[in-house]
Amino acid sequence: MRLKGKVTIVTGASRGIGAAIARRFAREGSKVVINYNRSKAEATKLLGEIRKAGGEGIVVKADVSDPADVKRLVKETIESYGRVDILINNAGVMFTQTFLEADDDVWDRTIDVNLKGAYLCAKEVAPIMLKQKRGKIINISSNSGAYHPSAMRFVEYVVSKAGMNGLTKALALKLGPYISVNAILPGWIETEMIAGIPSSTAQAIIEETPLKRNGTPDEVANAAVYLASDESDFVTGELHMVTGGRGMH
């Protein structure tokens, strides 16, 4: 129960890494705000699982790239629980067109959700956390946002995650001493986002991973619990790699 009594917003929480974080945080005692944009049925099912296990939470539909939606997401959180202790900026999209194939819409949507969304959510919760004199912001980035050639497959996605890494450090400087801001950089994690990739690509990724396997959403959630808990109170501005050693620095 390392997060007992805390209130956590998890964006893009209906599946994958976001869902794993929401489940784990609920088990650790946090009230969870499950944000989704399109997957209402999955978000509702997740909340049911959490409540059945004795946890507490709500579901809020919001497009994190829309400032009005973000304001409503935080407003509904405050109306329900009166505070925000932890923000997990997890919502993200990835398109698989090559640089020369992708159009402006691919660029705009990727940057708007992955980077602008994290910026807007942080900006909305920061005044609340500063008033509380305590808060934790965790950005779910990617090791493709750091330099690792074979991870840098899709230009727009890479740029959005590199920007998120920069946002993490800039906010850590701006929001200290009361708010800590860190990022988790997952490697190849078994989620729907990577489903359907060619087997040759999947095998090549495993071969260049020292631990010789893909990661799981629960392993990313483990790192998030640490960064959200009191155990990481002297950690801010860090890019925490969860990659099985792939692209180690």
State the catalytic residues: 157
Paired sense of beta strands 179-186 and 57-61, if any: unpaired
CA distances from 60 to 38, 79, 116, 149, 170 (A): 11, 12, 19, 37, 28
Q: Which of 217, 98, 116 is nearest to 160 (CA)?
A: 116
**What is the C-alpha to C-alpha distance for residues 117 and 64, in angstroms, rounded to an integer?**
5
- How many C-beta neighbours within 10 Å does residue 191 have? 19
The DSSP result for 63-119, as a single string, is -TTSHHHHHHHHHHHHHHHS---EEEE---------TTT--HHHHHHHHIIIIIHHH
